[in-house]
Amino acid sequence: MELNRQVAERTINLRRKKRIKLGDGIIAATALVHDLTLVTRNTSDFAGIEGLNVLNPFQQQNKDS
């Protein structure tokens, strides 16, 4: 995906609010701008980012029987 102006601006805003690393900010901003679920094992780096849907594929999901 392209690092466009919208992603760059969202990255800047996230880094000001959450003090996250640049790489994590770009990843989170890209997911937010494109309405994507962020799939990562390292969910703690993305905790508390409003509107960001994070999925850990290694965490067991509760399934209804």
Q: What is the pLDDT of residues 14-58, one digit of tens each?
A: 999 998 999 999 999 999 999 999 999 999 999 999 999 999 999
Please tell me the CATH code under which domain 5-55 is placed. Answer: 3.40.50.1010
AA letter at 46: F
- pLDDT band of residue 63 (cuts 50, 70, 90) is low
Exposed (0-12), middle (13-18) or buried (19+): which is 2, by Cβ within 10 Å?
Answer: exposed
Rounded to two decimals, what is the model's pTM? 0.86
Q: Is the dihedral of CA 32, 34, 12, 27 positive or negative?
A: positive
pLDDT at 65: 46
DSSP single-letter state for residue 16: H
The CA distance from 16 to 63, in Å, is: 37
pLDDT of residue 64 exceeding 90: no
The CA distance from 5 to 63, in Å, is: 40
